[in-house]
Amino acid sequence: MIQIRKFYHRDDFQIGIYFGFEDELKQKARGINARWSQTNKCWYLLYNKANYNLILRTFEDVIVINDENNEPLPEPARIGQEIVHIADEISALQPAMPVEHKDEDPDFAGKIVFKGRVGKYWILLVPYKEELSRKLLEIKGVFWNKKQKAYFIFRHVNTKIRVEALLDAGPLFPEEYYHDAELITGENGLIELDAYLPDKRWMVLRCPQIPFLVEEVKRWEGSRYSKSNEAYVLNATPSVFENLKDLAGRLNIQVKSNLPVGYLRKSKGMNKKATQLKGMREALLQQVPFMAQTYTLAMLDYLFAMNYSASSIRNYVSAFNLFMRFNEYQSPDTLTERQIVRHLAMKMEQGFSTASVNMVINALQFYFRTVLHRDVFEIKIPHPRTEDKIPVVLTIDECANIFRQVDNPKHKLLLLLGYGAGLRRSEIVGLKWVDILFDEHKIIVRQSKGNKDRVVMLPYSIVAYLEDYRKLYPSVDWVFAGQYKGEALSTGTVQSVMRNAVEKAGLAKKASVHTLRHSFATHLLENGTDIRYIQQLLGHTNIKTTMVYTHILPKAARKVISPLDRMQGMLGSDDSAK
């Protein structure tokens, strides 16, 4: 039996195809170019008439599931029967095109369309009016989704009131707020915890399907969904249990623990690497059909055994899986040089960066040399020419302007540390107080990119700021603690802080947290710091990576005058104007 349901995924509406673990059905799904969604646990195609009919022709016994949170799919027609009524529904999904600015539009309210909700946002289509658009975006919780050409509005009562008052178009949104949850009584109103038999470091969580509750649980570090248990699996530590009780208290839901006495232990806490690797093997194996999992599994075993980082494992295996899919999962032993070159050419034709193409080459070289034990890889793979790109760098004044836009002490400090010590986003949120050596003015960065520790400077100017901050935000372990006990701040929050500060500063440059790292290295180079010392501070293995910052002219070179500037005195005003 096949079930299909409409849902919102990857910035568009999709048709989800749900079935069990039948290999035959998986092959049919791949045959119509359906993609697998790990988040929604289904195969999916873009929501349109052609794909709807394609699903009906491909699968038998199709049942349409109407989701109360989405517009329902039409009932499936018989194979070969023309479906007419779906065309009107599909056309309604297309984003409204902006209309010309008019001072008076008597039918303006009728053109505002509520398109449902996605996660914690309502979607609203509003005809374009310059002044109105500006006022909408000034409301906290409202932002413009460029791809959907629609406004995304945070599902909060204050946002609802302000938007509806501004548009003066009557009630627009249902009273279903992101922070609210109905009080459920009886057995469905319980959060139950059970032991996880395959691994006692974890516990099984079964809870009501309340959107806010589910979204919060999914955000916890190490949280994952177990298909076999039809429940979430969480780390069995006292801090996670306390966080769960706090969350349940806010929603007025009871927590029932079926865990044995002493099951929750602090010693069961997973380190960062173990948390990242947990579930990665299964996720990467799901990218390929069962018949091809032998190749991927062999590669995974070697990468794990050789202690590659989580990001390297994910990148290598994903690149290898895509290559295998392109060649219809043909045995790697039988691949020819022509097949490899064709795959690389296809990726370049599709506009992929040289870095992503080189990732495929490195993954293949690893497989042939390490997994298949071919010391000399017979197939000579042409590496694409590297594109020399100059990184975006901010001036010292621009950096100072960005920092001035941030009032929250916690948010300002994480940006100051990112610039002052040249840290990556993951390194900022991974800082612990034991890594801050105040007396030595040093910071120890633990297990960063490439599984390497390194020591960086602790700026003198930030010491007093750090001490005051610790009094405001006391924490035992993390410098930048997250919302829940025992968890660090997310990297997404760091980037969001930077993005908002750049917008407020009104900078024309596209600057991210990593731009602060580029600026740190460039400003050191301008001040005459030896490039090999900069290499150590940044944690670069190869000096060539650091050499990219030599595009900045040293101070001595700024004294060089262009010959055109010398000529200006010899030219008349008319010539110079030309």
Please state, in angstroms and rounded to a whole number, the distance separating the CA atoms of residues 212 and 120: 8
DSSP secondary structure letters along 511-531: --HHHHHHHHHHHHHHTT--H
Annotation marks residue 551 as catalytic: no
Going from the C-alpha of 207 to that of each of 234, 250, 278, 420, the distances in angstroms are: 13, 14, 22, 44
Could you tell me which of 326, 320, 275 has the C-alpha nearest to residue 294? 320
* Cα 177 off chain centre by: 24
What amino acid is encoded at 187 in this protein?
E
Tell me the β-bridge partners of 154: 121
Assess whether 265 carries a catalytic annotation.
Answer: no
Whether 424 is catalytic is yes
- H/E stretch holding 224 reads strand 224-226
Which residue is catalytic, options 162, 411, 518, 540?
A: 540
What the block records as the tokens of 160 is 């609802």
Is 449 marked active-site? yes
Beta strands in 126-219 (DSSP E): 142-145, 150-154, 190-195, 202-206
Asked if 155 and 186 count as a contact pair (C-beta separation under 8 A), the reply is: no
The one catalytic residue in 201, 347, 411, 424 is 424
| Active-site choice (115, 517, 518, 523) | 517
Contact between 109 and 103 (Cβ < 8 Å): no
Q: How far apart are CA 246 and CA 283, in angstroms?
A: 31
Instruction: Name which of 93, 75, 89 is nearest 8 in CA terms.
Output: 93
Catalytic residue among 9, 30, 446, 449: 449
Residue 238: CB atoms within 10 A of its CB come to: 14
Q: What is the DSSP letter of 100?
A: P
28 given a catalytic annotation: no
Dist. CA 277–CA 254, nearest whole Å: 32
Catalytic residue numbers, as ranges: 424, 449, 514, 517, 540, 549
